[in-house]
């Protein structure tokens, strides 16, 4: 098949600093040094991303709102014609940030992993995170209303939900109970948890990774339409099984994959969003060379051999651990070895920290 000559999307984890401790955290943020660039270097990295001409960029982390100058970075890429989305856990939004967000031309999505504090806070690893996320949605909702009434474009306010076993029963409530509270809300995205980072741990795979039947349901058009029928008519609802991020050889051959480049806070680039192992750095390597290395990594014999037999989510998690160990640096392997065991919600463990 013909490989796209540019990424469809770049996910830039702009910092690993984070006030939350999510059980599924793909980047292990809050548990490792922030590694973020200084502002001048971030502008250089943004220019390198612009040179790659992706269709979209997601600013994630960690918590992007902890990064001074993040709105200038977002605007710089938006002004270049790239669709930019900023993802926040909602803990760190300050009222004085609202004007910068309203003036910007990027979308803002708030992570909400449950329709109740009990479920959301357990997954996000900190008491009060549900209330903070709801308060952030309320502030952005009011700001979006002011912007619209002044004749501006819509803010692009959205909710992003990572679907795991312990919140899968609340997806309907997010559409019927939560969404109507925010009249300016434009979208809810439900995505199956990816066995990446902490979500690839054996314990997490046993207790929180979706079953194959749940993944099939989440990826079905019928279920997406069902959830859409429950939400306010002004809210777009999208569901995905996220299997396109698996980089399975059969999917690449058949064109059913999503070419994503992942950028770490220090500018290092990863060819496959769900796996460890860098291929260069946005600050030092030409964009076209990074893309060539990305394509090369997708077809690496070890990747092909490891992913070819994968048919289930549990097998995907096991394959992820093998790929991470193979391509990760010595520091990556040490970090992987030190990952704490996953403690399920019904284990009698103490509640999330304050």
- pLDDT digit string (tens) for 130-154? 999 999 999 999 999 999 998 888 8
- Over 90: is that where the pLDDT of 117 sits? yes
Taking 90 as the threshold, does the pLDDT of residue 345 lie above it?
no
> How high is the pLDDT of residue 145?
94
Quick one: pLDDT at residue 213? 96
pLDDT cut 90: percent of the chain above it: 85
Residue position matching structure tokens 């394509």: 295
Cα 158 from Cα 48, distance rounded (Å): 27
For position 151, what pLDDT does the model report?
86
Across the chain, where does the E strand assignment appear?
A: 9-13, 56-60, 83-88, 107-111, 157-163, 187-192, 236-240, 260-263, 268-270, 278-281
Mean pLDDT of 62-69: 96
Of 264, 209, 193, 168, give the one whose Cα is nearest residue 25: 193
Superfamily in which the 9-340 domain is placed by CATH: Aldolase class I (3.20.20.70)
Radius of gyration, CA atoms only, the chain: 19
Q: pLDDT for 257-288, tens place per residue?
A: 888 999 999 999 999 888 999 999 999 999 99
Q: Is the pLDDT of residue 129 over 90?
A: yes
Task: Please compute the mean of the pLDDT values over residues 183-211 and round it to a whole number.
Answer: 97
Domain residue limits, the chain? 9-340
Is 50 exceeded by the pLDDT of residue 350? no
Is residue 349 predicted with pLDDT exceeding 50? no
Question: What torsion, rounded to 10 degrees, do the Cα atoms 35, 38, 39, 45 define?
Answer: -60
Average pLDDT, the chain: 93
Distance CA 337, CA 329 (A): 12
Looking only at the bridges linking them, the beta strands covering 278-281 and 9-13 are unpaired
Place of tokens 């992942």: 262
- Give CA–CA dist 174/177, Å, rounded: 6
pLDDT at position 1, please? 53
Tens-digit pLDDT profile for residues 319-331: 999 999 999 999 9
What does the pLDDT read at residue 202?
A: 96
């Amino acid at each position: 098949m013909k490989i796209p000559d540019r990424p469809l999307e770049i996910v830039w984890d702009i910092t690993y600093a984070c006030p939350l401790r999510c059980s599924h955290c793909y980047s292990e943020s809050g548990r490792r040094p922030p590694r973020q660039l200084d502002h001048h270097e971030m502008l250089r990295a943004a220019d390198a991303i612009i040179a790659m001409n992706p269709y979209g960029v997601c600013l994630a982390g960690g918590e992007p709102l902890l990064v001074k100058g993040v709105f200038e970075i977002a605007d710089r890429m938006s002004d270049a014609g790239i669709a930019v989305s900023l993802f926040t856990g909602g803990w760190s939004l300050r009222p004085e940030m609202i004007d910068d967000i309203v003036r910007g031309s990027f979308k803002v999505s708030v992570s909400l992993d449950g329709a109740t504090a009990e479920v959301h806070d357990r997954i996000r690893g900190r008491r009060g995170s549900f209330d903070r996320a709801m308060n952030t949605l309320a502030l952005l909702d009011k700001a979006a209303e002011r912007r619209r009434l002044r004749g501006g474009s819509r803010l692009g306010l959205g909710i992003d939900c990572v679907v795991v076993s312990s919140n899968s029963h609340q997806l309907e409530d997010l559409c019927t109970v939560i969404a109507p509270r925010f009249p300016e809300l434009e979208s809810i995205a439900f995505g199956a948890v990816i066995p990446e980072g902490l979500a690839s741990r054996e314990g997490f795979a046993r207790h929180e990774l979706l079953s194959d039947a749940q993944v099939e349901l989440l990826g079905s058009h019928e279920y997406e339409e069902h959830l859409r029928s429950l939400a306010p008519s002004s809210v777009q609802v999208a569901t995905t099984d996220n299997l396109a991020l698996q980089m399975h050889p059969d999917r690449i051959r058949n064109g059913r994959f999503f070419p994503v480049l992942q950028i770490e806070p220090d500018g290092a680039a990863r060819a496959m969003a769900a796996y460890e192992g860098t291929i260069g750095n946005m600050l030092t390597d030409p964009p076209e060379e990074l893309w060539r290395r990305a394509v090369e990594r997708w077809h690496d014999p070890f990747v092909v051999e490891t992913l070819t037999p994968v048919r289930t989510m549990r097998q995907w998690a096991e394959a992820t651990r093998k790929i991470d160990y193979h391509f990760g640096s010595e520091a990556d392997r040490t970090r992987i070895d030190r990952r704490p065991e996953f403690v399920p919600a019904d284990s009698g463990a103490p509640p999330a920290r304050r």
